[in-house]
């Protein structure tokens, strides 16, 4: 069983101690977000969990807990989102220079093959143009060169929930041709730094 952890909330950033308590206990109770009375018991023993996939924007507080997770016998890798946006789109995320250093520390701790960079989502606006993204992505790829082997990208999905959250941001939905062209630029920039590019699916 592979557990994709922390898509609902950033467990490495905010709930690392809770996770360790659950691993020590060997189980967790999970409430169904659509049916609050439905609760599932999930075994978390090393013999039932093949691997964890952690999603995070800032695992700094999680780093001291990784040796115990290793000692308990769990395999894992970390999807680490770093985008170039400011507080317009990412309120509460620490300054990018600090986040990049956390990424490098994590990579030195567990290895670049286990830290996957996410440039996600790609949001296009009058300000965040394809040219802006090309330059920003190239700069970040240079900063992360040698610290990761993979980058995953995705473009903004135009869901109803997204529309309400971003009603004050005039974003543009690119067509397949525009997405392909920009993804090609990202692939070139990533390849120059030894990073393979993938799309989220």
Please check whether residues 162 and 118 belong to one and the same domain: yes
Query: What is d(CA 42, CA 11) in angstroms, rounded to the nearest whole number?
Result: 17
Please check whether residues 144 and 198 belong to one and the same domain: yes
Please check whether residues 75 and 121 belong to one and the same domain: no
The answer on pLDDT for 174 being more than 90 is no
Residue 93, domain member (yes or no): no
Please check whether residues 73 and 124 belong to one and the same domain: no
Evaluate whether 43 touches 27 at the Cβ level (below 8 Å).
yes
What total number of domains does the chain contain? 2
Residue 102, domain member (yes or no): no
Query: What is d(CA 122, CA 125) in angstroms, rounded to the nearest whole number?
Result: 10
Please check whether residues 25 and 77 belong to one and the same domain: yes
pLDDT digits (tens, 9 = 90+) for 9-66: 899 999 999 999 999 999 999 888 889 899 999 999 999 999 999 999 999 999 999 9
Residue 157, domain member (yes or no): yes
The answer on pLDDT for 161 being more than 60 is no
Q: Pick from 36, 56, 81: which residue ends a domain?
A: 81
Residue 98, domain member (yes or no): no
pLDDT digits (tens, 9 = 90+) for 73-131: 999 999 999 999 988 777 778 899 999 999 999 999 999 999 999 999 999 888 899 99
Check residues 167 and 22 and name the one with the higher pLDDT: 22
Residue 9, domain member (yes or no): yes
∠ CA(102), CA(106), CA(111), 5° rounding? 150
Do strands 115-122 and 171-172 pair parallel, antiparallel, or not at all (unpaired)? unpaired
Residue 86, domain member (yes or no): no
Residue 91: C-alpha distances to residues 35, 85, 137 (Å) = 30, 9, 20
Please check whether residues 127 and 70 belong to one and the same domain: no
Looking at residue 169, its pLDDT comes to 66
Quote the pTM value: 0.89
Residue 146: C-alpha distances to residues 71, 106, 123, 193 (Å) = 26, 12, 26, 8
> What is the span of the domain harbouring residue 197?
114-201
Residue 60: C-alpha distances to residues 12, 31, 42, 150, 176 (Å) = 8, 27, 27, 20, 36
In this prediction, residues 172-178 reach a mean pLDDT of: 83
Please check whether residues 2 and 65 belong to one and the same domain: yes
Residue 165, domain member (yes or no): yes
Residue 91, domain member (yes or no): no
Q: Pick from 58, 81, 104: which residue ends a domain?
A: 81
């Amino acid at each position: 069983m592979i557990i994709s952890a922390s898509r609902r909330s950033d467990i490495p950033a905010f709930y690392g101690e809770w996770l360790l308590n659950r691993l020590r206990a060997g189980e967790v109770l999970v409430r169904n977000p659509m049916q609050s009375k439905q609760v599932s018991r999930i075994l978390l023993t090393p013999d039932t969990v093949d691997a964890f996939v952690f999603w995070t924007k800032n695992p700094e507080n999680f780093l001291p807990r990784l040796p115990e997770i290793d000692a308990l016998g769990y395999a894992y890798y970390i999807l680490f989102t770093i985008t170039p946006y400011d507080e317009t789109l990412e309120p509460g995320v620490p300054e990018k220079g600090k986040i990049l250093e956390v990424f490098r520390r994590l990579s030195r701790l567990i290895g670049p093959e286990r830290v996957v960079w996410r440039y996600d989502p790609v949001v296009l606006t009058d300000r965040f143009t394809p040219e802006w993204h090309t330059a920003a992505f190239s700069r970040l790829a240079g900063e992360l060169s040698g610290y990761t082997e993979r980058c995953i990208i995705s473009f903004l999905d135009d869901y109803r929930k997204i529309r309400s959250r971003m009603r004050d941001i005039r974003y543009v939905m690119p067509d397949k041709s525009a997405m392909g062209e920009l993804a090609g630029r990202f692939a070139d920039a990533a390849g120059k730094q030894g990073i393979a590019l993938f799309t989220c699916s």
